[in-house]
Amino acid sequence: MDIQQLSAKFAICRLSSMDGVDLTADFAFLAKTDDEISLVCEAGRIPENATAVQRGYSAFKICGQLDFSLVGIVAGIADILAKARISIFIVSTYDTDYFFVPSAERDRTAALLRDAGYRILDQPQNPLAR
């Protein structure tokens, strides 16, 4: 399976409202529940109304469209990284999954996954290209 490293640095935010969220950015993952509003965005695009921010994250994209019937894809990756004590934050879109690790762990994450048989790809020019 191919996993692509994204080159941007990311932040994970809790927001007081959706005001100021730049949905035209190359990457913005917005989630709203009855309890909270969360945003994963490039580090330079944190809205002013963020009430909590975790900076310094690097992203990996699980390549290809992942059918809803597939099981264990994220669990396999999470298990490898958990055994190495690398914390992850996961977001899912309709077609694929992304996981974020502290930027200090980016190279070790790539090496561990490569050793486990995953092919690690560099990001193409268009960060959302399939």
CATH number of the domain to which 86 belongs: 3.30.2130.10
117 within domain boundaries: yes
Is 37 inside any structural domain?
yes
Residue 112 lies in a domain: yes
State how many domains the chain has.
1
Mean pLDDT (whole number) for 98-107? 96
Residue 31 has pLDDT above 60, yes or no: yes
Residue 126 within any structural domain of the chain: no
* pLDDT, tens digit, 9 for 90 and up, residues 36-94: 999 999 999 999 999 999 999 999 998 865 554 555 578 889 999 999 999 999 998 88
Task: Give the pLDDT band of residue 130 (cuts 50, 70, 90).
Answer: very low
In a domain, 86, yes or no: yes
Q: Residue 111 falls within a domain, yes or no?
A: yes
User: How far is it, in rounded angstroms, from Cα 77 to Cα 122?
Assistant: 18
Summarize pLDDT for 105-128 with one digit per residue, the tens. Answer: 999 999 999 999 999 998 665 555
Other Cβ atoms within 10 Å of 34 Cβ, number = 4
Considering only CA atoms, give the Rg of the chain.
15
Q: What is the largest CA-CA distance in the chain?
A: 43
pLDDT of res. 65: 57
Q: Between 1 and 32, where is the model more confident?
A: 32
Q: Is residue 128 part of a domain?
A: no
- The pLDDT, as a whole number, for residue 69 is 53
Q: Which of 48, 50, 19, 31 is nearest to 98 (CA)?
A: 31
Q: In this predicted structure, which of 4-8, 14-18, 120-124 has the lowest mean pLDDT?
A: 120-124
* Inside any domain, residue 8: yes
Domain containing 112 equals: 2-121
Any residues with CB less than 8 A from the CB of 26 and at least 6 apart, and which? 8, 42, 127, 128
